[in-house]
């Protein structure tokens, strides 16, 4: 028996982690154990031996370090906007340092007249730069002792910073961690000849250096090693899965294309399927005849017509004596699916039901009963479908819409809803470039709808600066006068929830002024509203009772209002590409020319400029997905949460594709010689895979 690894020690046992910090580490960063902290990687490094002149400060710098003397220290503002401002001066100029929190304390501790080494992120304010909440070190002796060379930088958020879990705080924890974790706690897992071939440092050395780097070359090698390792472990799992394919799950055979399917196809389908839709249906048909469980990912841009394909799969199941379910990430989306589907169902005499969190009591019980007895043929729902109480008589197909919103574990639960696992179709509108999907998922079957239904006019996308607001309002009025409806979307990013809420409300007020009632009717939907109220507002807009929908990104997924023809995105620079594309997909669903207008201020970072440029240039979701992967780093906090299934922590799918290829070829070579990893040289690897097997199983059940 081996003793439990120190890496499994709960994080609260680490020196410097009290109950509050532990709580936050768990909630915000999913760090529960020493091991989780160890694999919480920095997302960049700064060279803190470099000291800039104040006049060299530039808004594109992620961080800057300057040395100067505090000339002036004063408080400004009242109440919540109270702040401390210090003027820091060197021989090239001066810059303001600003604090919004801890003002009393800082007023006492920061001293005018002293020389400080100041480190922080420059921020533009009214045409000049300031540095909010900088790190400050008094410099009395020579600078060499204060400037500390290479330093890791971790992703952070306001909540984390408030509790001292900024980079400085995390580095303290890393130091404490490496006081406890020894080389013997992190045995090597890569075969020795792989280490030799690429001149990789051992596992322990790589991990120490990635957090507490001493020197550039070793840091580079350490990062390369960890990237390789990350890809290598995934490739190994994928290839082993493939290798064991003969034991792949048994699945139902949908023998016949029956009466329902044929009636629907010939009598009720009001349009011709696109050839891409037909191709996907053929692929599904082949899978469901194979006696193996289907596990298919259906990628298709917003509006490409995935829903109808999934509906036809459902009636195929019913024709063969099975039930079907479709799960959506939000109530609104589930509701919309239900409306579309039940319209078709009524014509066919098929029994469909909706199950969401807000259906309660007796109604809920009736649904449970209907599912168990098989009275209900199709159930449309949210997460509520995952509950243990949801038991089917004979579930043949489970469809999951907008895959990226569901966690892996949740999907696995659907898989278990039948004694023989149901066929699974996962639908997503945020495409993974096909070649990469094949490489990385390996075993997963991928279908693509790569054409839009005919007659759609491509959405025109424009990027306007804030000063064009009058022009914007004029344009919106014109559209509304023509009977169209308009979305105006504001960012909502958790990091600064309060400020976003204020922006939204300010925006709403000025929209109300520019579009006065009774001529104009405005809906508003945001995260702080009760879900019934949200639904109500969405409904009013969908029914055309209001003409303008002001919202945060709650409308991001799936809503279908064909009469809406303009999507205005405020502070568009704050959205990621995938999100912008999803939002834009809310318009262009009807016969009219549609527009997407990206509003920003003048001052934009290089990356934002690129993102907006891509949006203006193309409507192609696949191009956007590629560009998105390229622009986004793996460690960026928001990026990680959005990237879904893969959960890469350090490697970048596109930028590190070289390591992906190397890792795949090494993994396949190893398995060729030693398919079950039984040779001595692969012992470390096998032990590691076995230790992480629980993740592995869940992951593999999906793909
Ligand atoms: P997705 O879920 O892929 O974003 P939907 O399935 O919601 O797209 O389809 C968008 C709209 O296009 C729906 O109103 C649907 O009825 C319509 N549609 C789907 N397929 C076709 C087709 N082949 N021809 C015309 N309209 C179609
Ligand atoms: Mg959809």
- Please check whether residues 108 and 89 belong to one and the same domain: yes
CA distances from 395 to 182, 192, 369, 417, 608 (A): 50, 48, 14, 7, 46
pLDDT over threshold 60, residue 145: no
As a whole number, the mean pLDDT across the chain is: 85
Contact 562, 589 (CB under 8 A): yes
| Final residue before a domain boundary, out of 618, 652, 681 | 618
Closest residue by CA, ligand 1 atom 23:
273
Report phi then psi at 275, rounded to 5: -65, -30
Residue 444 is assigned to a structural domain of this protein: no
Instruction: Tell me which of 307, 312, 339, 455 to substitute to probe ligand 1's pocket, judged by most ligand atoms within 8 Å of the beta carbon.
Output: 307
Atom index in ligand 1 nearest the CA of residue 562 equals 14
pLDDT at res. 433: 60
Distance 453 CA to ligand 1 centre (A): 7
Residues 474 and 332 in one domain: no
Query: Is the CB of 465 within 6 Å of ligand 1?
Result: no
What is the model's pLDDT at position 287? 93
pLDDT of 636 > 80? The answer is: no
Whether the pLDDT of residue 266 is over 60: the answer is yes
Top-confidence range, 44-48, 454-458, 613-617, 691-695: 613-617
302 lines ligand 1 (CB under 6 A): yes
Which amino acid residue places its CA nearest to atom 25 of ligand 1?
A: 453
How many Å lie between the centroid of ligand 2 and the Cα of residue 681? 49
Closest residue to atom 10 of ligand 1, CA basis: 303
- pLDDT value for 255: 92
Check the CA dihedral 511-512-513-516 and report its sign.
positive
For range 219-246, the mean pLDDT: 84
Cβ < 5 A residues, ion ligand 2: 558
Asked whether residue 408 falls in the same domain as residue 487, the answer is no
- The answer to whether position 293 is within a domain reads no
Q: What's the domain count of the chain?
A: 4
Please tell me the residue having the least CA distance from ligand 1 atom 20. 305
- Which protein residue has the closest C-alpha to ligand 1 atom 17? 305
Residue 453 CB–ligand 1 contact under 6 Å:
yes
Residue after which a domain boundary falls, among 409, 428, 447: 428
d(CA 69, CA 112): 7
Helix, strand, coil % in the chain, rounded to nearest 5: 50, 20, 35
pLDDT at residue 321, as a whole number: 95
Higher pLDDT, 155 or 572: 572
User: Looking at the domain assignment, is residue 693 inside a domain?
Assistant: no
Task: Indicate which ligand has the atom closest to the C-alpha of 299.
Answer: 1
Average pLDDT over residues 298-309: 88
What is the rounded CA–CA span in Å between residue 304 and residue 621? 11
Determine, yes or no, domain membership for 326. Answer: yes
Phi/psi of residue 546, each to 5°?
A: -120, 155
Residue nearest to atom 9 of ligand 1 (CA): 305
The per-residue pLDDT for 700 is: 32
- Whichever domain contains 382, its CATH number is 3.40.50.300
Task: Please identify, among 100, 124, 147, the residue that sits at the C-terminal boundary of a domain.
Answer: 147
User: 664 lies in a domain?
Assistant: no
Ligand 1 centroid, distance to 303 Cα (angstroms): 5
Does 174 share its domain with 29?
yes
Residues 138 and 161 reside in one and the same domain: no
CATH number at residue 130: 2.40.50.140
At residue 398, the pLDDT reads: 94
Q: What is the pLDDT at residue 3?
A: 58
The whole-angstrom separation of Cα 561 and Cα 538 is 10
Asked if residue 67 and residue 21 are part of one domain, the reply reads no
Going from the Cα of 570 to the center of ligand 1, the distance in angstroms, rounded, reads 27
Ligand 1 pocket, mutate which of 281, 303, 589 (most atoms under 8 A from CB): 303
Ligand 1 in reach of 134 Cβ (< 6 A): no
Please write the tens of the pLDDT for every residue from 640-686: 333 444 567 888 777 787 898 899 899 999 999 998 898 998 988 98
Does ligand 1 have an atom closer than 6 angstroms to the CB of 296? Answer: no
**Does residue 345 have its Cβ closer than 6 Å to ligand 1?**
no
**Mean pLDDT throughout 99-122?**
88
Neighbours of 8 (CB within 10 A): 11
**Ligand 2 centroid distance, CA of 393 (Å):** 27
φ and ψ at 585, to 5 degrees? -65, -10
- The reply to whether omega before 401 is within 30° of 0 (cis) is no
Range of the domain at 9: 1-48+154-185
Q: What is the pLDDT of residues 350-363, one digit of tens each?
A: 999 999 988 999 99
Check pLDDT > 90 for residue 2. Answer: no
**Ligand 1 lined by 621 (C-beta under 6 Å):** no
The phi and psi torsions of 597 (rounded to 5 degrees) equal -115, 120
- The strand ranges marked E within 274-377 are 295-300, 323-327, 352-355
The verdict on 330 and 367 lying in the same domain is yes
Q: Is any ligand 1 atom within 6 A of the Cβ of residue 557?
A: no
Whether residue 70 has pLDDT greater than 60: yes
Clarify whether residues 44 and 56 are in a common domain.
Answer: no
Residues 16 and 56 in one domain: no
Residue 604 lies in a domain: yes
Q: Are residues 340 and 367 in the same domain?
A: yes
CB 532 within 8 Å of CB 465: no
In a domain, 216, yes or no: no
- For ligand 1, say whether the CB of 308 is within 6 Å of any of its atoms: yes
Q: Is residue 201 part of a domain?
A: no
Ligand number nearest to the C-alpha of 591:
1
Same-domain status, 43 and 58:
no
pTM: 0.60
506 & 582 share domain: yes
Q: Whose CA is nearest to atom 15 of ligand 1?
A: 305
What does the alpha-carbon distance between residue 528 and residue 465 come to, in Å, rounded to a whole number? 29
């Amino acid at each position: 028996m081996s003793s439990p690894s120190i890496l499994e020690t709960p994080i609260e046992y680490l020196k410097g982690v009290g109950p509050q910090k532990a709580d936050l580490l768990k909630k915000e960063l999913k760090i529960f154990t020493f091991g989780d902290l160890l694999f919480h990687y920095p997302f960049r490094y700064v060279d803190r031996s470099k000291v800039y002149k104040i006049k060299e400060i530039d808004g594109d710098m992620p961080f800057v370090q300057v040395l100067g003397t505090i000339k002036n220290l004063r408080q400004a503002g009242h109440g919540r906007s109270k702040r401390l401002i210090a003027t820091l001066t060197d021989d090239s100029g001066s810059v303001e340092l600003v604090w919004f929190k801890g003002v009393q304390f800082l007023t006492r501790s920061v001293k005018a007249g002293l020389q400080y080494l100041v480190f922080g992120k420059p921020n533009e304010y009214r045409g000049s730069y300031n540095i909010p909440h900088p790190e400050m070190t008094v410099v009395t002796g020579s600078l060499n002792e204060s400037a500390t060379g290479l330093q890791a930088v971790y992703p952070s958020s306001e909540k984390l910073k408030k509790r001292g879990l900024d980079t400085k705080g995390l580095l303290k924890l890393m130091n404490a961690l490496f006081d406890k974790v020894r080389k013997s706690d992190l045995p090597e897992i890569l075969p020795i000849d792989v280490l030799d071939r690429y001149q990789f440092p051992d596992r322990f050395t790589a991990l120490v250096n990635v957090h507490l780097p001493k020197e550039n070359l070793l840091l580079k090698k350490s990062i390369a090693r960890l990237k390789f390792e990350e890809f290598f472990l995934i490739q190994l799992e994928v290839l082993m899965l493939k290798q064991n394919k003969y034991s792949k799950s048994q699945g139902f055979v949908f023998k016949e294309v029956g009466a329902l399917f044929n009636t629907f196809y010939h009598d009720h389908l009001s349009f011709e399927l696109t050839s891409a839709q037909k191709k996907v249906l053929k692929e599904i048909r082949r899978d469901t005849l194979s006696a193996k469980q289907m596990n298919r990912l259906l990628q298709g841009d917003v509006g490409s017509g995935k829903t109808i394909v999934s509906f036809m799969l459902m009636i195929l199941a019913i024709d063969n004596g099975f039930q079907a379910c479709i799960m959506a990430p939000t109530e609104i989306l589930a509701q919309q699916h239900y409306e579309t589907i039940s319209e078709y169902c009524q014509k066919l005499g098929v029994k469909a039901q909706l199950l969401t969190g807000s259906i309660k009591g007796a109604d809920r019980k009736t649904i449970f009963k209907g599912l168990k007895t098989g009275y209900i043929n199709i159930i449309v729902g949210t997460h509520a479908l995952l509950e243990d109480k949801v038991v089917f008589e004979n579930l043949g197909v489970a469809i999951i819409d907008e895959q990226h919103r569901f966690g892996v574990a949740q999907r696995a639960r659907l898989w278990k809803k039948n004694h023989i696992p149901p066929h699974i179709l996962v639908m997503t509108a945020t495409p993974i470039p096909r070649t990469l999907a094949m490489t990385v998922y390996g075993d997963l079957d991928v279908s693509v709808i790569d054409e839009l239904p005919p007659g759609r006019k491509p959405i025109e996308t424009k990027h306007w600066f804030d000063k064009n607001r009058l022009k914007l309002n004029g344009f919106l009025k014109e559209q509304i006068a023509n009977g169209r409806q308009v979305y105006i979307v504001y960012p909502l990013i958790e990091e600064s929830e309060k400020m976003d809420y204020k922006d939204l409300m300010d925006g709403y007020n000025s929209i109300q002024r520019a579009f006065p009632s009774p001529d104009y009717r405005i809906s508003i939907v945001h995260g702080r509203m009760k879900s019934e109220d949200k639904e109500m507002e969405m409904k009013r807009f969908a029914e055309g009772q209001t003409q303008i929908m002001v919202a945060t990104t709650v409308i991001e997924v799936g809503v279908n209002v064909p009469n809406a023809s303009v999507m205005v995105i405020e502070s568009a620079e704050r959205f990621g590409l995938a999100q912008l594309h999803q939002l834009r997909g809310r318009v262009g669903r009807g016969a009219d020319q549609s527009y997407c207008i990206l509003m920003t201020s003048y001052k934009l970072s290089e990356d934002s400029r690129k993102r907006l440029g891509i949006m203006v240039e193309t409507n192609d979701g696949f191009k956007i997905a590629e560009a998105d992967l390229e622009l986004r780093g793996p460690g960026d906090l928001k990026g990680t949460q959005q990237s879904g299934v893969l959960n890469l922590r350090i490697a970048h799918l596109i930028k590190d594709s070289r390591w992906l290829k190397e890792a795949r070829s090494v993994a396949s070579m190893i398995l060729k010689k030693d398919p079950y990893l039984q040779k001595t040289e692969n012992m470390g690897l096998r032990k590691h895979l076995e230790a992480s097997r629980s993740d592995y199983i869940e992951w593999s059940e999906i793909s």
